[in-house]
Amino acid sequence: MSWAPWALDEAGARGGLPAGRNWPSPDGAWEEEEEEEEEEEEEEAMTPPILVTGGTGTLGRLVVPRLHEAGYEVRVLSRHRHQDQDAIRYLSGDLATGEGIDAAVDGVGTIVHLAGSPKGDQVKAAQLVQAASRAGAAHLVFVSVVGADKIPVTSGIDRAMFGYFAAKWAAEQLIAGSGLPYTTLRATQFHSLTLLTVRQLARLPVIPVPAGWRFQPIDPGEVAERLVALALGRPAGLVPEVGGPRVYGLAELVRGYLEARGRYRPILPVWLPGGANRAFRAGANLAPERAVGRRSWEEFLADQVSQPSHSSSGPT
């Protein structure tokens, strides 16, 4: 319920209303503030739950508690069983097959679609869109990746290395053309995914680094903050991208990681063919004009190098 405290204060001052009273109703009876509070409580009780797909992943684990803290009942769709927590309910379902999806979307108002994988994003989006349309969902929020619309994936090499971008782009188009009210947010590479890439390269005695590749790592917690704000707002279509605070060459990221670990490896620039690699070298995966991230790669790396090495999942 929207309200304007300044208007109430002015009205009270002008009319000299007793504390806890509003203007009289047409029949002359005073309406107590308690009645308005009861109405607000009823409206809150009728607020439909929010469904989060991929709620147990890197980004989902940050989005779900924020939605809960905002006072919403949250449903989390997962392929595996989990114990319910407070107002967080875990539902089993598989977006790849459609199993359990209708039950998951039944009665929800907003769906935050974070489930993703290197392949098949468009298939999962199609299953979700169909179920959401049948359920009459009011808002579908989707997280995509910067460059999804700019990196051509045509050759075998392109598909092997950049199929993720093509799948995200296909999912974006499917959602935009679904007729559902939607919001799509594109983000640059997460710190955790960048670290995973760097760690894998650093295991080699000589590190081959694709020439011209650059990244703009962003903290997933900051992406989660933006997604929650969008999920609680009105559908806005494709919104401005979010990127990390700085752009780095991949060779620079590898050297920084090696230095932080007290290691040395020779780095060998490698020129890769294909249209997708050409677009990557041109910065199609970057959003320097949207460098809104606050936590730097250096801050993230300093926190990580003192911890045991472990695998980190990608941006969805």
Q: Let me know the angle formed at the C-alpha of 108 by 103 and 114, rounded to the nearest 5 degrees.
A: 85
Of 38, 72, 28, the residue nearest 52 (C-alpha):
72
Whether 180 shows a pLDDT value over 50: the answer reads yes
Residue 87: predicted pLDDT: 81
Within 10 Å of residue 124's Cβ, how many Cβ atoms?
Answer: 23
Residue 86: predicted pLDDT: 79
Give me the chain's average pLDDT, please: 85
Q: For 36, list phi and psi in degrees, rounded to 5.
A: -65, -40
Collapsing DSSP to helix, strand or coil, 89 comes out as strand
Give the start-to-end residue ranges of the domains of the chain. 46-304
Q: Do residues 58 and 314 lie in contact, with contact meaning Cβ atoms separated by under 8 Å?
A: yes
User: 307 pLDDT band (50/70/90 cuts)?
Assistant: low
Residue 119: predicted pLDDT: 76
User: 197 pLDDT band (50/70/90 cuts)?
Assistant: very high
Q: Do residues 61 and 112 lie in contact, with contact meaning Cβ atoms separated by under 8 Å?
A: no
Q: Do residues 64 and 74 lie in contact, with contact meaning Cβ atoms separated by under 8 Å?
A: yes
Give the percent of the chain with pLDDT over 90. Answer: 72
Whether 183 shows a pLDDT value over 90: the answer reads yes
Residue 1: predicted pLDDT: 37
Q: Which comes out higher in pLDDT, residue 116 or 216?
A: 216
Give the percent of the chain with pLDDT over 70. Answer: 82
pTM of the model: 0.82
Structure token pair of residue 264? 């040395």
Whether 208 shows a pLDDT value over 70: the answer reads yes
Tens digits of residue pLDDT in 126-146: 999 999 999 999 999 999 999
Top-tier CATH class for 46-304:
alpha beta
Tens digits of residue pLDDT in 5-23: 222 233 333 334 444 444 4
Name the one residue in this structure whose structure tokens are 């093509």: 166
CA distance to 58, 274, 308, 311, per residue, from 316 (Å): 7, 26, 23, 15
Residue 310: predicted pLDDT: 47
Structure token pair of residue 129? 């869109």
- 177/154 Cα distance (integer angstroms): 23
Tens digits of residue pLDDT in 289-300: 999 999 999 999
Whether 258 shows a pLDDT value over 50: the answer reads yes
Whether 313 shows a pLDDT value over 90: the answer reads no
Residue 39: predicted pLDDT: 52
Question: What is the arithmetic mean of pLDDT over 55-68?
Answer: 96
Structure token pair of residue 178? 């679904």
Whether 30 shows a pLDDT value over 70: the answer reads no
Whether 215 shows a pLDDT value over 90: the answer reads yes
Of 99, 105, 185, 90, the residue nearest 141 (C-alpha):
185
Q: Are strands 182-187 and 237-238 parallel, antiparallel or unpaired?
A: parallel
Of 164, 175, 137, 157, the residue nearest 316 (C-alpha):
164
User: 246 pLDDT band (50/70/90 cuts)?
Assistant: very high
